[in-house]
Amino acid sequence: MKCVRNTLKYQTAIDYSILKMPITRSKSISEQVNELLRGRILDSTYVPGGRLPSESELSQEFGVSRATIRTVLAKLASEGLILRKQGDGTYVNERIDEVNAHVGGLWDFVRLIESSGYQASIESLSIEKRAATEQETFTLAIQPGDEVLALKRLFFANSNPVILATNVLPSNLIVKDTETFDGRLHIRDFLQQYCRRRIMYAISDVRASLAKGEVAGILHREPGSPLLDIRIAFYDRDNAPIVCGQSYYNDEVLRLRLVQTWG
């Protein structure tokens, strides 16, 4: 058994000064163990359907306590990547491809598209500052007439347009120039970088709707055909709404799939 603890313990954050991101944290031991194990699962070092080493073996290999190993395995199990059987062992879920597309949440569209086997690309349709709509003043808890920044983006799966997403946030939250921002960024990371806000949770409203007019055209659907309509609101640590979004999701091409675990 090789003890790799020295390489694990409180890895120094690299690029701290270069990236000028004061919130860069060094990776915790469990994060590193998580990435290692996740990597071995995804690249079939641990073969699908096969058994992982026991908790004690893993804790010895990595030189960490069994409790640390357990927190990592618990997370992987909650994502459906592994199955844990008391009295038996821990197994790699052989349905890994169905499951992997949806770890880390539903709303990371790039990841969702790519792990569904498509090439993902994004087209920024518009970035505009305008007065908030009535609906937006309500969900964002701002005043009528307050200025908001609206990002309208179109996601492609192998050059098929699949998701039309609009995100709206109050202009006054932006503390860093957005001229050069990366359109592929997840909203969560966008907020961290340009607004210095950390998102704690989101509430989504999933609905069925009918494609019509402009939206139908953009997503290449017949008017009147069904589309998923997902409204989302993100909240920060003070439970204040930061961003609201609306996405039309062409589920004819891209499946919206959820893995549910419990216990």
Partner DNA sequence: AAGTGGTCTAGACCACGAC
Partner DNA sequence: TCGTGGTCTAGACCACTTA
Scan residues 116-155 and list those touching a copy of itself (CB under 8 A). none
The site string for a copy of itself over 44-73 (x = CB under 8 A, - otherwise) reads -----x------------------------
Q: Side chain identity at 218, as an amino acid letter?
A: I
Q: Side chain identity at 50, as an amino acid letter?
A: G
Q: Does residue number 261 form part of the binding site for DNA (CB under 7 A)?
A: no
Q: Does residue number 7 form part of the binding site for DNA (CB under 7 A)?
A: no
Q: Side chain identity at 136, as an amino acid letter?
A: E
Residue 186 interacts with, from a copy of itself, DNA, none (CB under 5-8 Å by kind): none
Number of residues forming the site for DNA (CB under 7 A): 30
The rounded distance, in Å, linking the Cα atoms of 58 and 55 is: 5
The rounded distance, in Å, linking the Cα atoms of 172 and 234 is: 16
Q: Which stretch binds DNA (CB under 7 A): 37-45, 80-88, 122-130, 167-175?
A: 80-88
Q: Does residue number 35 form part of the binding site for DNA (CB under 7 A)?
A: no
**Considering the complex, what minimum distance in angstroms separates the CB of residue 84 from DNA?**
4
Q: Does residue number 25 form part of the binding site for DNA (CB under 7 A)?
A: yes
Q: Which long-range contacts (CB under 8 A, 24 or more apart) does 36-45 make?
A: 36/62, 37/72, 37/73, 37/76, 38/76, 38/81, 41/76, 41/81, 41/82, 41/92, 41/96, 42/96, 42/100
The rounded distance, in Å, linking the Cα atoms of 46 and 91 is: 9
Q: Does residue number 207 form part of the binding site for DNA (CB under 7 A)?
A: no
The rounded distance, in Å, linking the Cα atoms of 143 and 178 is: 23
Q: Can you give the binding site for a copy of itself, defined by CB under 8 A?
A: 49, 78-80, 83, 85, 91, 93-95, 98-99, 103-107, 188, 199-210, 224-229, 235, 237, 239, 251, 255-263
